[in-house]
A and B are shown apart, each in its own frame.
Chain A
Amino acid sequence: MLDTWFSSWLWPFSTLGWPDETEDLKRYYPGSLLVSAWDILFFWVARMIMAGLEFLNEIPFTDVLIHGVLRDEKRRKLSKSLGNSPDPMELFDRYGVDGTRFSLISIAPEGRDIIFSEKKMEIGRNFCNKMWNAARLLLMYVKEGEKFERNIDKNPYLEDKWIIMKFNKTLKKVEENLEKFDYPEVAKSIYHFFWSHYCDFYLESIKDRLKNEKERKNALNISLLIMENFLKLSHPLVPFITEEIWHKLPFEKKEESISISEWPEEFNFNFENEEKEMDFLIDIISLVREIKGIYKIPLKEEINVYIKEEKSERFKKILKNLSYGNIVLKKPDRNFLGYMIDGEEIIIEFPEKIDVEREKERIKDEISELERIIENIDKKLRNPDFLMKAPQKVITETENKKKKFEEKLKALKRYV
């Protein structure tokens, strides 16, 4: 009887017909990539290299991607006998295949072992739902039988130019990270682009255009085009949902599947200034929203914002639509607070009924209360008795609580 490895070490070429000199052997040997967990690196991978050199004088692959082994939160290897290994098919039922795939790629630290917990599978499921909802929103505005061309309007809006730039950058990052096998970064870039740029700000800022019949087509054209390109970019990670949505997009398609369509290219534009402008605008929107939270101003209440430099009409409109902020030309002389964003001075004028000075006092009180709480937690965490006796779970929870309070404290301090 032969060692098991005596057949598997020949795998890269026995599969192609060796020892016969087949067409396949000529065309596909040596191969390109082998993906393997580190635990069988010497069992198998090293032996395949030896066999390749021995029988064909060539190494069977140029790159070996080594990934970690899945472990549970107690760092035990997932195994059937320990009962800590979920049935993948059940995970597919609960989180979708794409959801599971995306989560696994996101949580797998390059090469190192992966701490698996079912909770983490929600990352991918939420991502897929977000993708679905965004596509659904856009498609609601597309009329029956309406078709679009894949070109960028001669006069894209500020937000269009911005999302084009963000897409270009994401594409580049995804390609770079795929080429250097940093797959968790691939997932991160895709997720960040879609969630923080495309959904949170881009779709929000074109809503007024979608609702306006004159501007609807132009807004849809660009948003759908970016959507299509984004689907292609994500397809290798989440093949099913991207295929489904791609078929629904109102573009002519020459391929029968997104999986054999062409990989996207960068849009040949340079809107660097507009990208900066919109980034700046987003910072202001976030500032206004946050201030409203801290000073307990209703989200939909208008608030005056003074910026020294003149801004475009679109800039003003988006600020208003997304944060109920009004750009004013006159610097307020009372009841205001000033901030610096990107070296520019932003002044927020507060509504009459809010006494900024009194509010500041209130916030200061809140700050000292928080500081007191944090100090108490600190004392506890320094107490050897507590550290010895408390279960690890309680200690971790206490540490997390502290972190949360510290974050809140940091946010508050920015606003006084």
Chain B
Amino acid sequence: MELPKKYNPKEVESKWEKFWIERNLYQAGKDKDKKTFVIMMPPPNVTGMLHMGHVLNNTLQDMYARYKRMKGYDVLWLPGIDHAGIATQNVVEKELKKEGKSRFDLGREKFVERVYKWKEKYEDIIISQLRRLGCSCDWTRYRFTMDEKLSKAVLTAFVKLYEKGSIYKGKYIVNWCPRCETTLSDEEVEREEIEGKLYYIKYKIENEDEFITVATTRPETMLGDTAVAYHPSDQRYKKFKGKYAILPFIGRKLPIIEDEAVDPDFGTGAVKITPSHDPADFEIAKKHSLEFVTIMDTKGIINENGGEFKGLDRFEAREIIVKKLKEMGQLDKIEDYKINIGKCYRCDTIIEPYLSEQWFLKMKEMAKKAYEAGEKGEVKFHPS
């Protein structure tokens, strides 16, 4: 008996890959007397092909599936893929862009069709790659997170939570991606520190020749200011208490208020309050019953509340506003300043804190229960 002199992986691998699938060796439930061992494959996103991380992840799963199967368990390793929501929409949009088209050129129906075409293409690739890796999963139970039945589960979960009162609607500051035109969860925002500027802007006090100078990293949002605030202990501004500052360009009267949340060491110690475009200002505004003025549309373009700047992109607006303030003598100075920005994890666009009406899910109780289960060792992490 003889083996070929040289090991030829390709030949051997494709032979057994086919054999394992054809014989349907890894379908679960063939022997109901056996104890079960279940692994749910983290479904790869249908955004593209598999990368090395998937190879490692699935190799480890396959190692356990094969080990437990040989050990006499009824192993269910359930494979599937994830729709990945906007991430997939993005890759399809990028593809369209190469053809010089946008999703609006296609219209909703055609665009959805296009997304499904993408899904089918990459689904095939992903499955064939998982098979090549030797994954001994139960292909008869393959799932896609938008299968009819899985969508039914989503709906059921939503209704159950809604009826319980865990889901509510409300206007809050959310992370908004002006490119994707959608909200992002906190985890979907990538934070980074960049070199920015701190602008010192002078607001005139109503009926006086005095000014109050506020410092801000985002001058364009001043169009949405509805107050100026300082820390109650800050003696510098006591004299302005109860007075009004006049918002340049717009002419709105801004009450000058005191609030503990203001950091007297930041800038001049006086800050502009923009409730619709800053989460901290949002809180302050609620406390003092301030007005909410949204100055951008969902694409980050200045809207009618921005007066003469209407129609400008948010960053264009910044440049022009700064230039005009300088001309008007209301720009005190500009300093270099490190700022923290958030970027959309899918498309890298700088996110906008944005007041938006959304549905929310109360997670506190759920998180607490999950945490306790972890503490009690009902689920073990390796390494812990």
Q: Which chain A residues have a beta carbon within 8 Å of chain B's beta carbons?
A: 1-8, 10-19, 24, 27-37, 40, 42-44, 46, 49-51, 53-55, 59-67, 69-70, 78, 80, 85-89, 91-93, 95-101, 104-105, 108, 110-111, 114, 116, 128-129, 132-133, 135-136, 139-140, 142-144, 146, 178, 180-181, 183, 186, 232, 235-237, 239-241, 243-245, 248, 250, 256-257, 259-263
Contact = CB atoms under 8 A, between A and B. Distances in A.
With a 10 A CB-CB cut-off, give which of B3, B20, B80, B187 has the most chain A CB atoms: B3
6 contacts: A7-B154, A15-B141, A88-B50, A139-B3, A178-B63, A239-B66
Contacts, number: 292
A7 B3 contact: no
A87 B86 CA distance: 24
B260 to A, nearest CB: 31
Contact of B52 (A11, A15, A34, A116): A116
Contacts of A55: 157, 160
Interface string B51-93: 1111111011111111101111000101010111111000000
B143 interface: yes
Contact of A263 (B72, B141, B187): B72
What size tier do the contact residues of chain B reach?
A: 35 or more
Contact of B1 (A29, A63, A248): A248
B57 A136 contact: no
B47 to A, nearest CB: 11
A266 B245 CA distance: 85
Contacts of B53: 37, 69-70, 78
A8 B43 contact: yes
B101 to A, nearest CB: 22
B366 A28 contact: no
Contacts of B152: 19
B153 A28 contact: no
B136 A259 contact: yes
Contacts of A62: 378-380
A108 B56 contact: yes
A305 B73 CA distance: 53
Contacts of A97: 9, 13, 132-134
A50 B367 contact: yes
Top 9 A-B pairs, shortest CB-CB distance: A96-B9, A31-B38, A14-B153, A132-B7, A4-B85, A181-B382, A236-B66, A263-B70, A111-B383
B56 A239 contact: no
B369 A7 contact: no
B51 A85 contact: yes
Nearest to A139: B1
Most buried by A among B17, B60, B69: B60
B67 A11 contact: no
A124 to B, nearest CB: 10
B37 A237 contact: no
Given A101-B133, A116-B52, A53 B87 contact: no
Contacts of B212: none
A129 B380 CA distance: 37
